[in-house]
Each structure stands twice: as C-alpha cells, then as structure tokens.
C-alpha cells in the first residue's frame, strides 16, 4: 500500500468543503436586513451597533489555558521527559481537571505531546510529500518505542493511540461519507486497529479514567459495527465524567443519520442522558445531547421537543454561570432561530419553533450574556465540532464578532432605534435614554 497519495484532490477535499461552508453560511454584514432597519430616520444597522456597548474578549481564560497546556505537553514530549508527562496527564485525568470551558487538561496535554508527529503526517497527506527536513516516520517509531519503555503507562499509551487515530482521520477525511478511496480507507483502518491494540490493555473503569473511556469512544468509527456499541460506550464515559457536557455533545453528533443513528434514537438517548444526569444538570442533558447535532443537521428541529430543549439550556446556564457557556448557548440559539425561520415559515409546519427559539435567545442575552467571545460565534456558523484546521482563527473571530454584534442588538432594537445606548457590564445591562 502506498503511504502517500500523489492525488491531492482527495487529501484536500475536506478542507475545501469547510472553506466553502464558511464562505456560504457567514452572513454578509454589509447588507441591511429589512426587519432590522429603523422605521424612521436614516440610521443604518451599523450605526445602531455603535450604541451597543459590550466587552469583546478575544483572549479568554479558556483559550490561554488551552494553549499553555498544549505547549506544556509538546515541550515535555520534545524533551523526552516521559515520566513527568505521564504523571501530569494522570493527575489531570484523575482530578477531572478542565479549562474554564470544560476541555479536559489531560486531553490538551495528550494533544500537545503528539502534535509534532500528527502535523507532519497531515502535511504529507495534504501536499503529497513530507515537509522539508521532516521525517515523520521516525516520529511515529519514536512514540511507539516509548510504549516499550513504559508498558504500564496508560497516559503515554493514550498519546500514541491518539496519534494513530489522528493520522487515520487524515487519511480518510473527517466527513461522514462512504465514497472514500480504497487506499485511504485501508490506511484509516490500519491506524485505528493499531490504536485499538494499544488501548486494549487498559480498562477505563479499572483506572477510573475518562481519558481512556473517551479514547474508546473515538475508536468507534473504525469498528465494523460501531452503532452496536455507541450508546453503551458513551454512557460509560458520561458516568465516569458526568460534569463535562462535551461527552454528551459528541454522543449526539454520532447519533445523526449521517453517522450511526437517526433522530428518533437521538431524541430517546437525549432523554435517557437527561434522566441519568438530572441531579447535576436538571434538563440540561437533553439540550447537551442535541446541541451540536442541531447545528450539523438542522433537520433535527422537526423531532426536537422545543420546550424541553429550552428548559435544558436554562438549567445548564444556571449550573455553570460562565460566559463561555452563555456565548455557546446564545450563538446556538441565534443560528437555530435563523435556520428555523427559513425552514418553517415557508411550509407552515411547526410555526411555533422560530418564535420559541427567538424568545430563548433573547432570554439568554438579557439574563446571562455579559461579553462576546468571537470564536464561539464564528464556529457556530460552521458547527462547533468541525475538524478543519486551515480556517484562519483571526478571520473566524472577526466574522464571529460581526455576527454576535448583529445578533445581540436584536433584543434591544426598538430602544437603539429610539436613540438609547445599551451597556453590558458584569453586573447586568443598562439601557440609557438619549
């Protein structure tokens, strides 16, 4: 089997689709929306935004901590400080330590530690050759040798297993599709099989390890019949780490029809998870399982119980009191509201959805949102769990800022048109008349 394909079209297909989606779905903020213009006067929508005073946080604590933790993992791996790396990953994993946004620190360190090798492999697959002065074969071999020196370290095993999972996806492409070239499919399964062999020696329950359980879930796409084990594996992961909603979000995404489920099964599982995590999240589990799935495939709005979903959002916000989550919820509801306006006003079905989503959005903005996190709003346009790494963060943040300002002004539109200035502060919102 050839290790590198000289056909660049397959290797760059996913990246091209992501760029097309970003260009197509991000709104043209220079075009005034008729419903958003003042009835009298010559104000443009951008003029009204000047009266919306809300902090814009481009370097959140979560982003800073994420970058620092990944860099720490990368540094320890480059220095071959394996025992210290093992100790820090285990400590983070056992303590369920996360960033302020809920990203496990263990996962970030594991990502940093393997990033040199994975980047080299992705470059080779994208361009048809390794980067200059890069020998990523030796990088793969070096990490494999680490396993021989530390056979009982589940933390180091996770680094090597995730390296193979990442390279497998680089070969296959991250889209849920069946038209994968045979050579790419074979490479994908070969890397996933190797990752499964590595992780097979370690039991997540025995080690009390969400990181191991999460890695087992990540292996599912490489299994012959992943749907048979999907819910059981994710329920085990959620039981080990119920406070982290990212596991619920991933489960919902994999239960989409394009992967391994259908909307009926997704809704049923969302209710099961909500019941199992009620003491922690209230109705929040229902909202978290549906969360990413609705952005990836808005057809799910037809099955969604909207009142339960909005209750779940309120419960999740009440239990986190965090601006990252407030931005997540606001950006999601705004995107879903815009989608529902187009889908359901035209055919007359589920006419209650758009106004319900808008009311939910207005409530989140007024009661919880106090600053803008631009990257979250940018990612909401292309799906939070997108896998593209070539979209510029700066470009995405700028678009996210424009979308957020456009959206957040809507609940205050009549006042802004009348000359009010709206101030967002940590203590609340103040509307000052002219």
Segment 68-117, tens digit of pLDDT: 999 999 999 999 999 999 999 999 999 999 998 889 999 999 999 999 99
Distance CA 422, CA 348 (A): 35
Tell me the pLDDT of the chain averaged across its residues: 85
- DSSP label of 245: T
Q: 5-17: per-residue pLDDT in tens?
A: 334 343 334 333 4
DSSP three-state, residue 2: coil
The predicted model scores a pTM of 0.84
- Which regions of 86-192 does DSSP assign to beta strands (E)? none
Q: Is residue 178 part of a domain?
A: no
Cα dihedral 220, 225, 231, 237 sign:
negative
Residue 219 belongs to a domain? no
Whether 361 is in a domain gets the answer: yes
pLDDT value of residue 342: 82
* Two tokens, residue 367: 């009661």
Task: Please give the pLDDT value at position 347.
Answer: 59
**In this predicted model, what pLDDT tens digit does every residue of 147-172 receive, in sequence order?**
999 999 999 999 999 999 999 998 88
Instruction: Report the domain count for the chain.
Output: 1
Minimal CA–CA distance to 170: which of 211, 132, 119? 119
pLDDT of residue 157: 98
Whether 224 maps to a domain, the answer reads no
Residues of the chain with pLDDT under 50: 1-42, 130-131, 134, 386-390
pLDDT of residue 126: 65
Q: Which residue segment(s) compose the domain that 382 sits in? A: 37-57+321-434
Q: Is residue 179 part of a domain?
A: no
> Alpha carbon 123 to chain centroid distance?
23
Residue 348, in any domain of the structure: yes
Tokens at residue 301, please? Answer: 């709005």
- 413 domain-assigned: yes
Whether residue 180 lies inside any domain: the answer is no
Q: State how far the Cα of 163 lies from the Cα of 376, in Å rounded to an integer.
A: 26
């Amino acid at each position: 089997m050839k290790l590198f394909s000289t056909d660049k079209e397959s290797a760059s297909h996913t990246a091209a689709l992501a760029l097309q989606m970003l260009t197509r779905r991000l709104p043209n903020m220079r075009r005034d929306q008729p419903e958003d213009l003042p009835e009298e006067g010559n104000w443009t929508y951008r003029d009204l935004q000047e009266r919306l005073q809300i902090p814009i946080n481009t370097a959140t604590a979560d982003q800073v901590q994420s970058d620092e933790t990944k860099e720490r993992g990368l540094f320890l791996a480059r220095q071959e400080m394996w025992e210290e790396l093992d100790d820090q990953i285990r400590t983070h994993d056992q303590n369920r330590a996360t960033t302020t946004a809920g990203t496990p620190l263990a996962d970030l360190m594991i990502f940093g530690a393997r990033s040199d090798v994975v980047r080299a492999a992705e470059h080779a697959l994208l361009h048809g050759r390794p980067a200059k002065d890069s020998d990523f074969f030796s990088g793969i071999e070096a990490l494999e040798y680490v396993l021989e020196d530390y056979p009982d370290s589940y933390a180091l095993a996770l680094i090597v297993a995730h390296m193979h999972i990442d390279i497998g996806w680089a070969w296959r492409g991250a889209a849920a599709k069946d038209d994968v070239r045979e050579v790419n499919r074979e490479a994908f399964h070969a890397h996933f099989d190797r990752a499964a062999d590595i992780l097979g020696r370690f039991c997540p329950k025995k080690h009390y390890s969400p990181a191991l359980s999460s890695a087992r879930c990540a292996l599912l796409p490489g299994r012959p019949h992943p749907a048979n084990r999907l819910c059981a594996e994710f329920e085990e992961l959620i039981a080990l780490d119920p406070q982290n909603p990212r596991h619920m979000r991933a489960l919902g995404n994999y239960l989409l029809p394009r992967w391994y489920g259908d909307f009926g099964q997704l809704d049923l599982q969302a209710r099961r998870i909500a019941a199992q995590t009620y003491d922690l999240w209230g109705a929040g589990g229902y909202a978290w399982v549906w969360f990413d799935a609705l952005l990836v495939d808005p057809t799910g709005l037809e099955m969604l119980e909207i009142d339960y979903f909005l209750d779940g959002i309120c419960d999740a916000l009440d239990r986190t009191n965090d601006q990252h989550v407030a931005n997540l919820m606001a950006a999601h509801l705004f995107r879903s509201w815009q989608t529902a306006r187009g889908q359901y006003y035209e055919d007359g079905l589920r006419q209650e959805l758009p106004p319900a989503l808008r009311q939910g959005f207005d409530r989140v903005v007024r009661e919880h949102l106090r600053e803008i996190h631009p990257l979250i709003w940018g990612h909401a346009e292309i799906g939070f769990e997108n896998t593209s790494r070539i979209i510029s963060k700066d470009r995405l943040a700028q678009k996210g800022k424009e979308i957020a300002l456009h959206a957040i002004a809507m609940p205050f539109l009549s006042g802004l048109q009348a000359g009010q200035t709206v101030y967002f502060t940590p203590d609340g919102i103040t509307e000052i008349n002219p």
